[in-house]
């Protein structure tokens, strides 16, 4: 049994991969579901938490005031980085105690970096692969390649900043991960089998020397 965390570049299809991996392993899949727990534990609303997560460097006072007017049921503290980090850490660690879960994003590789049963994955790809996949998504339909790449890089830096701000680690540090998989060279289906094999060997007690 294991806890698998997935960190990925924007547009690579990490959610689809995580779902396929969870199905292959018979594990629970956690991504958007985490929002509900964050909201419950903080006394905030899911849409408020989602808005906060969309601003990796933390909201300004002006934005906080706007959210409080728009979502009067939200507790202000969830929008403070220190409180958000504490609540998120508690939620992720609680899921890890249940075991047999695949967790996508939200700094799981940092929160659970010392977890004895964790397997941390990083999904990467080259520019051509990322742009080609983004172009297939409805919300990006018709955008030129340069704009798709600009958005990809902007999101990449914002998420990197989010992880650095809340957990003090670099999401792109390869030493955080057990496996860094290049989807420009490995298909998602192949990657699922690679990880499933690793989980299986761990379950049987066979680990590399």
Q: What are the residue ranges spanned by the domains of the chain?
A: 3-203
Residue 87 CA: distances (Å) to CA of 25, 46, 55, 142: 28, 14, 17, 39
Strand, coil or helix: 181: strand
Q: For residue range 174-198, list pLDDT tens digits in order.
A: 999 999 999 999 999 999 999 999 9
- 86, pLDDT greater than 60: yes
What pLDDT was estimated at residue 66? 55
Q: DSSP 3-state assignment of 182?
A: strand
What is residue 64's predicted lDDT score, i.e. its pLDDT?
Answer: 56
Query: Do 102 and 15 meet the contact criterion of CB atoms below 8 Å apart?
Result: no
User: What CATH number is given for 3-203 in this structure?
Assistant: 3.40.50.300
- Residue 41 vs residues 108, 120, 147, 191, 204: alpha-carbon distances, Å: 18, 25, 38, 34, 36
For residue 118, give every residue at least 6 positions away whose Cβ sits within 8 Å of its Cβ, in sequence order, or none: 2, 3, 4, 5, 96, 112
pTM for the model: 0.81
**Percent of the chain topping pLDDT 70:** 78
- For the stretch 48-60, pLDDT in tens is 777 676 654 444 4
Q: How many C-beta atoms lie closer than 10 Å to residue 42's C-beta?
A: 23
């Amino acid at each position: 049994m294991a806890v698998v965390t997935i960190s990925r570049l924007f547009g690579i299809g990490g959610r689809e991969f995580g779902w396929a991996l969870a199905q292959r392993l018979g594990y629970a899949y956690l991504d958007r579901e985490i929002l509900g727990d964050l909201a419950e534990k903080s006394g905030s609303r899911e849409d408020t938490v989602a808005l906060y997560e969309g601003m990796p460097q933390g909201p300004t006072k002006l934005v906080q005031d706007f959210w409080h007017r728009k979502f009067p049921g939200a507790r202000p503290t969830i929008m403070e980085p220190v409180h958000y980090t504490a609540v998120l850490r508690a939620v992720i660690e609680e899921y890890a105690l249940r075991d047999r879960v695949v967790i996508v994003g939200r700094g799981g590789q940092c929160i659970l970096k010392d977890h004895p049963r964790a397997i941390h994955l990083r999904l990467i790809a080259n520019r051509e692969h990322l742009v080609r996949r983004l172009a297939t998504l409805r919300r990006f339909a018709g955008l030129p390649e340069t704009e798709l790449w600009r958005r990809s890089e902007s999101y990449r830096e914002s998420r990197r900043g989010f992880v650095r701000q809340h957990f003090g680690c670099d999401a792109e540090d390869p030493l955080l991960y057990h496996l860094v998989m290049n989807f420009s060279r490995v298909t998602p289906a192949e990657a699922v089998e690679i990880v499933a094999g690793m989980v299986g060997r761990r379950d049987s007690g066979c680990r590399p020397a």
